Chains A and B, each alone.
Chain A
Amino acid sequence: MEASYRVSIGGRYTRHLALAGALVVALLVALPAFAARSLIEDLIFVFYMLALAQYWNLLAGYAGLISVGQQAFVGLGGYLLFALAIMAGLDPLVAIVLAGVIAGLLALPTAFVVFRLRGAYFAIGTWVVAEVYRLVLAQWKQLGGGTGTSLPPEITNTVSGIEGVKALFDVRTSAARDMILYWAALALAAGTVAAVYLILRSRHGLALAAIRDSEPAAASAGVDNFRTKLSVYVATAAGTGMVGALIYLQKARISPDSAFAVLDWTAYVILIVVIGGIGTIEGPIIGVLVFYLLQSYLASFGTWYLILLGALAIVIMLFAPKGIWGYVSERFGLVLFPIRRRLVRPGDAP
C-alpha cells in the first residue's frame, strides 16, 4: 500500500530553532549572576512590554479585536496586586497570579458591553471602559484614591525566595528583589510567547487564522466566531492583568493616572507590534527590541523623542504596514515560529 500524505507543521530547521530558543532562555535565566543591575532592570521592562505586545497582537492581529483599552487590565492587575498584598497580606508572587485570574473574570462583564460593538465602535468602547475603571478605582480611598499609594517596603522586601537569593549571590535586599522580579518577568514573557505559539499551532489557532482572514468564511466552516473571540479576549485580559501586577510590584507605587495610561500601556504596545510586524509571533519580539533601543538612546530628548515616535508610527503604517518582520520573512522566507500547516508528500523529508 502506498504511504499517505501527511500534514506537517514546521520544517527541517524546527528542531535547531527550538534548541536555539532553549539556549537563549537558559542564558537569560543565568544572566543575573554576572550582569550589571541596570541591565537587569532594563530587561524587566523589555520582558513586560514583550508580554503586553504578544497579548495585544493575539487580540488584534489574530482575533481582529482592535482594542485601545488594554490599559484597563494593566491597571486592574496593578490595583489587584496592591489590594491583595496590602489588605489580604498575600505573598506578592501569589498575588500576581491571582490578580491575573480576577482580571480575566472582570473581562467577562467588560465583554458584555464592548462585544456589542464592532470595528471603530469597539476600539472607542474599550477606551471608555478603561476610563470607567480608572475613575472607579480613583474612588478607592484605602488605596489612596486619586493620588494613589505605595507598597510598604516590608511587602516588597519579603517576596518569597528573597532570603535564598541574598545568601546564594551575596547581594543586598534591593538587588535580590530585582533578581526575583527579573525571573518572574522572564517567566511571564517566555511563558506568554510559548503559550501564544502553542495556541496558534492548535486547532484554535487554525480557527483564529480563519477569523482573521474572513469572518463569514470562518463561520461557514464551523468556527464559533463569538466564542473564539471571547476566549481570546478573556485570556489576553488575564495575561495583561498578570503583567500589570508585575509592573506595579516592580514600581512599588501606583496611581490611577499612571496605571490606566493609554499612552504607556496601549499606544506604545500597538507601536511595538506594528513596528515589528502585526500578525506574527516574531514581530513583537523585534518590535520591543527596537522600541527599547530607541528609548535608551533618545528618551533624554523628552518631547522630541515622543514626536519622533509619533512620526515613526505614521511612517511605518503608511510605508511598511507589515513591519520589520513582515519584510524580512517575505524577502528571505524566514520563519522562527512555524505555525503554517503544509502537506507533505510520502517519501519527502518532513
Chain B
Amino acid sequence: MTAWLDALLQGIMLGGLYALFAAGLSLIFGIMRLVNLAHGDLIVLAAFVVLVVTTALGLDPFLAALLAAPLLFAFGYALQFILLNRTLGRDILPPLLVTFGLSIIVQNGLLEAFSADSRRLRAGSIETESLSLGGGLAVGVMPLLTLASAVLAILALNFLFYRTSLGRAFRATSDDPETAQLMGIDNKRIFALAMGVAMTVVAVAALYLGMRANFDPTIGPARLIYAFEAVIIGGLGSLWGTLAGGIIIGLAQTIGARIDPEWQILAGHVAFLIVLVLRPRGLFPRAVD
C-alpha cells in the first residue's frame, strides 16, 4: 500500500517537471498554433547556457538561471521575429520542417561545442534532502521544488494571460489573428514576445532538468514528446490543463515503472493515446483549433 501511495506521490512530482517542460510549449501552441519540434532541444540548450553561467561566474544554478533568463528571452524574441514568424499560416508543414531543421542544428551545434558527455548542474546538499511525511512516506525537496515551480510558473503565466494588456493581446491573436490586427495589434511583435516569455519558462525547466538528472545534447526530442503529450492532454490554450496533462504522464510513468521498470516510458505514451481516443481535443480545451 505504502509503495503505491509512494508511486502516486512521485508521479505527481514528476508531473511537475513535465508541466515545466510543457508550459512554454503550451503558451506558443495556444497563441499561434506553432508546432515547435525544437522545443526539447531548446530546453537542453538553455540547460547548457545555465551550465556555462554557473561555471564561468562560479554561481549557484538558481542564480545562474536568473541571469540566463533575460538572455533566453531575447533569444526567443529574435528567433520568433526573424525566423519562425515567416512559417506561420494555414499549412502546418513549414513550421514543422523549419523547427525540425532548427532541432537538428541545435542538437549538433551543442554536440560540436560541448561534446556528447553527460553534464549536471550541481546544487549542493539540496539535491538529496527529503521531507518525511510519516507512515514511511517521504518526498525529495528537489521534486517538491519542481512541482512548486511549475505551479508558480503557471500562476504567473495565467496572471500575464488574463490580467494584463499584453495577455489580452495574446488571447485576441489566439482567437482571431486577422481581427486582432485590425484592432491595432502587431501580431508579429506579439508572437515574438510570446516566444520570449516561453523561453523564460524554458530557463526554469532547464534548471530542473539539469539539477535532477544528467543531460547531454541528444536528450531533447524525448523531452519534446513528453511536453507535447502534456499540452495535448490538457487541451489547446489551457495552462492548468497542461499541468494536469504533465501529472497524468508523470503518474502513468511511475505506476508503469512500479509494475515493470521497462514499462515506464511506454506507460506514459499509452496513457496519452488513451486520453486522445476518448477526448481527441484534450481534457480542458479553451481555444478552438
Residues of chain A whose beta carbon lies under 8 Å from any beta carbon of chain B = 60, 66, 68, 112-113, 116-121, 123-125, 127-129, 131-132, 135-136, 138-139, 262-263, 267, 270-271, 274, 278, 303-304, 306-307, 309-314, 317-318, 321
Q: Cβ of B83: which chain A residues have Cβ within 8 Å of it? A: 314, 318
**Pair A311/B101 contact, Cβ less than 8 Å:** yes
Whether B35 sits at the interface, judged by CB under 8 Å, is yes
The stretch from B132-140, B155-163, B183-191, B262-270 touching chain A is: B262-270
CA distance A8 to B87 in the complex (A): 38
Find A113's partner among B29, B93, B112, B276 (CB 8 Å cutoff): B276
In the complex, 5 of the A-B residue pairs with CB atoms within 8 angstroms, ordered by the A residue number, are A128-B229, A303-B108, A304-B108, A310-B108, A318-B86
**Pair B100/A119 contact, Cβ less than 8 Å:** no
CA distance A270 to B97 in the complex (A): 8
Residues of chain B whose beta carbon lies under 8 Å from any beta carbon of chain A = 29, 33, 35, 37, 83, 86-87, 92-94, 96-98, 100-105, 107-109, 111-112, 221, 225, 228-229, 232, 262, 265-266, 269-270, 272-273, 276-277, 280, 289
**Pair B101/A314 contact, Cβ less than 8 Å:** yes
Find A123's partner among B35, B94, B112 (CB 8 Å cutoff): B35
**Pair A267/B100 contact, Cβ less than 8 Å:** yes
**Pair A274/B269 contact, Cβ less than 8 Å:** no
Q: Cβ of B228: which chain A residues have Cβ within 8 Å of it? A: 124
A324 to chain B, nearest CB (A): 15
CA distance A343 to B23 in the complex (A): 55
CA distance A271 to B100 in the complex (A): 10
**Pair A113/B108 contact, Cβ less than 8 Å:** no
Q: Cβ of B94: which chain A residues have Cβ within 8 Å of it? A: 317-318, 321
Known interface pairs A129-B273, A132-B270, A303-B111; A118-B97 also in contact (CB < 8 Å): no
**Pair A311/B97 contact, Cβ less than 8 Å:** no
Top-5 shortest CB links A-B: A313-B101, A310-B104, A310-B105, A310-B101, A303-B108
Known interface pairs A127-B225, A128-B225; A113-B270 also in contact (CB < 8 Å): no
**Pair A117/B112 contact, Cβ less than 8 Å:** no
B146 to chain A, nearest CB (A): 23
Q: Cβ of A136: which chain B residues have Cβ within 8 Å of it? A: 266
**Pair B92/A119 contact, Cβ less than 8 Å:** yes
A274 to chain B, nearest CB (A): 6
**Pair B102/A314 contact, Cβ less than 8 Å:** yes
**Pair B92/A66 contact, Cβ less than 8 Å:** yes
CA distance A112 to B273 in the complex (A): 11
Known interface pairs A123-B35, A129-B273, A132-B266; A307-B109 also in contact (CB < 8 Å): yes
CA distance A112 to B276 in the complex (A): 11
Q: Cβ of A131: which chain B residues have Cβ within 8 Å of it? A: 225, 265, 269
**Pair B277/A317 contact, Cβ less than 8 Å:** no
Known interface pairs A123-B92, A124-B228, A318-B98; A311-B276 also in contact (CB < 8 Å): no
B283 to chain A, nearest CB (A): 14
Find the A residue at minimum CB distance from B116. A303
CA distance A3 to B277 in the complex (A): 56
A317 to chain B, nearest CB (A): 5
Q: Cβ of A117: which chain B residues have Cβ within 8 Å of it? A: 276, 280
B224 to chain A, nearest CB (A): 9
Find the A residue at minimum CB distance from B104. A310
B26 to chain A, nearest CB (A): 13
**Pair B93/A121 contact, Cβ less than 8 Å:** no
Q: Cβ of B96: which chain A residues have Cβ within 8 Å of it? A: 66, 68, 120, 123, 270
**Pair A306/B108 contact, Cβ less than 8 Å:** yes
Beyond contacts A128-B225, A303-B112, A309-B104: 16 other A-B pairs, Cβ-Cβ < 8 A, are A68-B100, A123-B96, A125-B276, A128-B272, A128-B273, A131-B225, A135-B266, A136-B266, A278-B93, A304-B108, A307-B112, A310-B103, A314-B97, A314-B101, A317-B98, A318-B86
Find B105's partner among A128, A138, A278, A311 (CB 8 Å cutoff): A311
Q: Cβ of B270: which chain A residues have Cβ within 8 Å of it? A: 132
Find B269's partner among A116, A120, A132, A303 (CB 8 Å cutoff): A132
**Pair B277/A113 contact, Cβ less than 8 Å:** yes
CA distance A313 to B111 in the complex (A): 19
B188 to chain A, nearest CB (A): 15
Q: Cβ of B232: which chain A residues have Cβ within 8 Å of it? A: 121, 124
Find B273's partner among A113, A119, A267, A312 (CB 8 Å cutoff): A113
A216 to chain B, nearest CB (A): 14
B218 to chain A, nearest CB (A): 10
**Pair B92/A132 contact, Cβ less than 8 Å:** no
**Pair A120/B33 contact, Cβ less than 8 Å:** yes
A262 to chain B, nearest CB (A): 7
B244 to chain A, nearest CB (A): 17
CA distance A303 to B276 in the complex (A): 37
Q: Cβ of A127: which chain B residues have Cβ within 8 Å of it? A: 225
Q: Cβ of B92: which chain A residues have Cβ within 8 Å of it? A: 66, 119-120, 123
Find B93's partner among A66, A116, A125, A128 (CB 8 Å cutoff): A66
